[in-house]
Structure 1
C-alpha cells in the first residue's frame, strides 16, 4: 500500500523562476486535485507531465530548470496540462555568441582512499574486465566470427577461468564505403580505438576477409590522431581468403589457435587493488522521461563529481542532447581552446543534421513525449545534469581517446547504441545508463549500470535496473544520497560485480558512427 507521502499530491519545481512543474504521483492526478500549496488542477495530468503554476499568455515562455523550454500556443490557465500540443519549441542559440570559460569551477576537494580491483595493462591503463576482444576489419566476416565465438565460449573458456569472456567486435563497416572520404576518419578511428579498450588487456587479434577496402594494416595504423597497434605475432591477423585455408573448418581451426594463444596470456592476469583514479566512466541516458533530469541524471552528476575528485575520468556525450544546453556548459570549460572545441562539435553536428534535412527536434521519441518531455530543449536541460558541476577539461571528437583526466565531453550521436559504441572506443571501462521508461540495454565490452528515474519502473523491472533514483522525487532521499550509492556501486562493478545486463547476457551490438558516404 502507498504511504502518506506517496498519496499526497506532489509536483516538482526545479528552479525558483519556473512557471511549470512535473506531477510526481504514479498514474497522474485528476482534475480537481488540490496540492498542499493550494494549486488546483483544472484537467487530468499524467505522471511526469507538466502543470502550469501560473496563468501563461499566448506566446509567453514556459520556464523549467530556470530556462525557456518552449512558448505557449494560446492562453494557458493555472492548473492546466502543459503538453506538446500547446508548446512551440525555441530556436537554437547561436553558437558564435556563447560565453567561454567565464565561470570555470574551482577544483573540488580531492577524495582520497577509494580503490577498486582492476586489471593492469602493459600500456598503463586499467581494465574492469578481462576479456578477449576479436576485431573484424570488415562486416563480411561477422558470421564466421560469431560462429567461432560460440565455440570459444563452449570449448575454450572453461579451460581459462580467469578470463571473463570473449567479445566479437561486430560492426557494419569495412567495404562498400568511401574509405578515403574525410568523414571516414570517424569509423576508422573508432574501430582502431575499440580494439585498444583497456578491458581487452592489450591482446589484439584481427579477422579479415582479404579483399575489403579497410585492410587490417590500415585498421592497426589508425588515423593521424592515434598510435599504431603493434601485434605480438603476425599470425594475429587471420585472413579468410588466404590460400592456406581449405574449407570452412580450416578457417575456424586457425581462429581457434590464435584465440587460445591470447586466452593463455589473459588467464595469467589477476585483479589488483588500484586507485579509483584509474577508472574511465561513461555517462549516458536513454528512454528518458521528465523525471530523468530531476532524479537520475543529477544523481549521476553528483557521482561524476565524486569520481573527478578521485582523479578519475568521466565522459558525457550525446551532441543533440547537449546542443540546447551548451550555453550552460561553455562557461564551465577550463580554457578557450576547450570551449572552442565544444562549439565546433556542436556546429559540426548542426551541419550534419542539416545535410540530412532534419534538425535537432527529430531526436525526441514517442516514449520521451509520453514520459513528459515535450521537446529536445527540455530533454537537453535534463540530459546535461549528468555532467555534474566540475570543469570540462577536454572535448573529444567521435572515437577519440582522452589525454587528460577529469570531466570530458566525448562527442557522439544520441542514439543509445551508437553512443555506447563510441564511448567504448573512447576508452570507457564502466558505463552508467539512466532511464525513465526502462531499457534492457547492455554492452559486452564494458559493464553497464542502469539507473531508473522512477521507483515504479525499478520495481516492475526489478531484475533489469540496478539502482533507482525514484526516492529523490518523493523526498525520501537526496540527490547526494543516491549519488554516493551510485559511486560505491561503480567501484563494486569495476571490481567484478555483475550488473543485471551482464547477469542475463543482454548485450547490444556495436553501432559504429559512420557519417561518410556508403558506395
Structure 2
C-alpha cells in the first residue's frame, strides 16, 4: 500500500504498483486544482474515498485497483479526474467452470501459543463468551406471548441470578404456512435448530411452541448432549394451557427460572483461543473498507488461525467476483469444489429471482466511493487474511472445523449475522465505513470503523478505529495485534462493546429460499 503522507496536503492511497486509480484520503476530499505529490493535479472536486485517475485512460481501457480490473472506461478519463461509477462498464463475473483450485494453498503459519480467554465451558465442548438464557420459538404465533414473558423474566427473575448476562427471545417468521418439505426448506430449519444450540446459550435454548405449526418444537431440541425428562424440561407448547394467557406466562416463567438457576451456577474458566468462533462481516462499506478495516481484520484473522481458532467470513455476492482468489487458497480440491458449489447455488438463486450480483451494491456504498460489486468484492475478501481456507459451510450449517472457514450467506447484514450465529459464532466483528448501529443480542459485536472521521463522529458506537492505518498513526501489523487483544478482552467479559452497553440489536432474519404456502 502506497500512502502519500503529508497530513496537510492532498493525499491518496494506491494499493498496488499496477493500479491506475487511487483513493483520495483527505477527510474533506480535494478541490479542483489540488496538487498531489509529483505532477498529479485534480481536474475537479473529488470527495474523500473516491477514485482519482493516476494517468489518462482511453475509452475501453481497464481501470485497475487492488492490481485487478474493476471496470472498463466508457469514455476517455483524463489524468487527475474523478473516476465515477457511471463511467465504468462492469466486468463479467468469473466463470465457475474454469477456476483454479488449491493451486496456491498457503503454507501453515507458525503456531501462536500461550493466548487464552475466560469463557463458559459447555457440556458439548463448545465455549460461550456470554452466559445468556435463550428462548427460541417454533412459529411467529407465539412471539407476542414470549415478548411479554421476557419482560417479566427481566424484571422479576433475572436480578436473582447475577451470573446470567441476559435473556433473549429468538423469534422469527418461520414455522407456519411454509412448504416444510420443499427442497430448500432445510436451510431455515437447520438455522433455527443451530441457533438454539449456540454456545452463548449454554448449548441449548428453551423452546416455546404453539403445537399445531409445521416446524414442530421437538425438531429444535438438542437431544445429543442433553437427556430430556422431568428433571430438565426444555419445551413448552402454548396450546397445553388450560387457563389461558395468565397460565401461559406462569408456565414460561417457571421454565425460565429452572434454566436460570442452572446457568447461574456457571463460572468463567480459562480457555484456549482455539475455543473462539469469530464471525466477520462488512456493512455500510466504503472504499476505505478494503484499505484499513478489512485488512486489519485479515491480519487479526491470521493470528487467530495460528492460535487454533475458528474464523468465519461470509457474504456470497461480496466474494463472487474475486472467487478465483479463494479457490486458489483452498486447503484442497474438495474445499475448492465446495466454494464453487455455493457460488453456483447462489447464481441460480439470483437468476430465479431475476436479479444478479450487481444488485448488492447500495447507494451508500456508491456514495462511499465503491463503483460496483467487483470493487466491493476485492475489498471484502481481504478480511479473510492469508491463511488457507479449511472448510465451507452451507447456510445454516454448524461449524465443526478449526481454521479459516467460508460460511456461505447472503450479504444482508441481518441474514448473515443470523446464519453465523447458527454456525456457532460466539464473537462477532463488523466493519463499517458509512456507519451503522448494527448489533446482535446473542453475541458481542465489535464495531470497527474504516475512517477516523466516523469514529470521531460516533465515539459511543464505534469500538475500534481502523482509520489510524490510513493516517499513518499505526501500521497494519500494530492494528491487527490491537484488534486481536481486543477480541480476547471482549470474549472474556473484561470489556463490553458499545452495542452491548446500549443493548442495540437487530432482529434475527432467517434465510428462507423455500416457498410459503
TM-score range, shorter chain: over 0.9
2:269 equivalent to 1:268: no
TM-aligned CA distance change 1:232 to 1:121, over 3 Å: farther
Equivalences for 1:246-261 in 2 at 5 Å? 246-261=243-258
1:506 maps to 2:507: no
Residues 220, 230 of structure 1: 8 Å contact kept: no
Change (3 A) 1:220 1:214: same
Deviations, residues 246-279 of structure 1 (Å, cap 9, x unaligned): 1211000000000000000000000011111110
Q: In the alignment, which residue of structure 1 is the partner of 2:180?
A: 179
Q: From the superposition, tell whether residues 202 and 228 of structure 1 become closer, same or farther in structure 2 (CA, over 3 Å).
A: closer
Which deviations, in whole Å up to 9, do the C-alpha atoms of 1:136-159 show, x marking residues without a partner?
Answer: 011111111111111111110100
| Residue 296 (structure 1) aligned with residue 293 (structure 2) | yes
> 1:232 deviation in Å?
5.2
- CA distance in 2 between partners of 1:500 and 1:204 (Å): 25
Residue 7 of structure 2 aligns with which residue? 6
Look up the SS of the partner of 1:464 in the other structure. coil
> 2-side partners of 1:202 and 1:120: how far apart?
9
Matching residue of 1:33: 34
Corresponding residue number in structure 2 for 1:484? 481
Structure 1 residue matching 2:334: 3-state secondary structure: helix
In 2, Cα distance between equivalents of 1:315 and 1:202: 19
CA shift at 1:235, angstroms? 4.0
With over 3 angstroms needed to count, the CA separation of the structure-2 counterparts of 1:231 and 1:410, relative to structure 1, is farther
Q: Secondary structure at the match of 1:420?
A: helix
The one of 230, 233, 239 equivalent to 1:241 is 239
Alignment of 1:416 with 2:417, yes or no, is no
Choose from 454, 457, 461 the match for 1:457. Answer: 454
Q: Could you tell me how far apart the structure 1 residues matched to 2:479 and 2:141 are?
A: 45
Q: Helix, strand or coil for the counterpart of 1:6?
A: coil
Q: Taking structure 2 as the reference length, what is the TM-score of the superposition?
A: 0.97
Separation in 1, partners of 2:377, 2:221: 36
Counterpart-to-counterpart distance in 2, 1:514 and 1:22 = 38
Distance 2:311 2:7 in 1: 35
Distance 1:272 1:495 in 2: 9
In the alignment, what sits opposite 1:48? 49
- Give the direction of change, closer, same or farther, for the CA distance of 1:85–1:112 in structure 2 (3 Å limit): same
CA distance in 1: counterparts of 2:448 and 2:225, whole angstroms: 37
Aligned to 2:84: 83
Give, in whole Å, the separation in 1 of the partners of 2:97 and 2:376: 23
Give runs of aligned pairs for residues 158-237 of structure 1, distance below 5 A. Answer: 158-220=159-221, 231=228, 233=230, 235-237=233-235
Equivalent-residue separation in structure 2 for 1:457 and 1:188 (angstroms): 38
Aligned to 1:284: 281
Q: 1:172 to 1:165 in 2, by over 3 A?
A: same
1:349 to 346, 349, 371: 346
Question: What is the root-mean-square deviation of aligned Cα atoms in Å?
Answer: 1.3
CA contact (8 A) 1:31 1:41 kept: yes
C-alpha distance in 2 between matches for 1:114 and 1:219: 35
CA distance in 2, matches of 1:204, 1:128: 15
Note if 1:61 corresponds to 2:67: no
Q: How many residues align?
A: 511
Instruction: In structure 2, list runs of 5 or more residues that go unmatched.
Output: none
Following superposition, the deviation at residue 231 of structure 1 comes to 3.5
Following TM superposition, by how much is the alpha carbon of 1:6 offset from its aligned partner in structure 2, in angstroms?
A: 3.0
Cα distance in 2 for partners of 1:78, 1:230 equals 70
1:39-65 superposed Cα distances (whole Å, 9 cap, x missing partner): 111111110000000111111111000
TM-score (normalised: structure 1): 0.97
Take 1:402 and 1:441, find their aligned partners in 2: how far apart are those partners? 23
What's the offset of the Cα at 1:518?
1.1
State whether residues 123 and 225 of structure 2, in contact with CA within 8 Å, keep that contact through their aligned partners in structure 1. Answer: no
Aligned partners of 1:5 and 1:474 also within 8 Å: no
Deviation at 1:217, TM superposition (A): 1.9
Q: Distance in 1 between matches of 2:8 and 2:158?
A: 52
Q: Tell me, what secondary structure is at the counterpart of 2:184? A: helix
Match of 2:366 in 1: 369
SS at match of 1:431: strand
Moved more, 468-477 or 423-432: 468-477
User: How much does 1:219 deviate?
Assistant: 2.8
8 Å Cα contact 1:203-1:262 kept in structure 2: no
Query: What is the distance in 2 between the residues matched to 1:96 and 1:230?
Result: 47
Tell me if the contact between 1:458 and 1:468 (Cα under 8 Å) persists in the aligned partners: yes
Q: Which moved more, 1:143-152 or 1:487-496?
A: 143-152
Deviation readout 1:92-139 (Å, 9 max, x if unpaired) = 010010000000000111111111000000111111000001010111
Native 8 Å contact 1:195 1:204 kept in 2: yes
**Separation in 2 of the partners of 1:8 and 1:486?**
30
Report the equivalent of 2:425: 428
From 326, 329, 332, the counterpart of 2:326:
329
Q: Report SS of the residue matched to 1:220.
A: coil
More displaced 10-residue stretch of structure 1: 4-13 or 454-463: 4-13
Contact 2:119 2:491 in 1 (8 A): yes
Tell me how far apart the structure 1 counterparts of residues 444 and 222 of structure 2 sit (CA, whole Å).
28
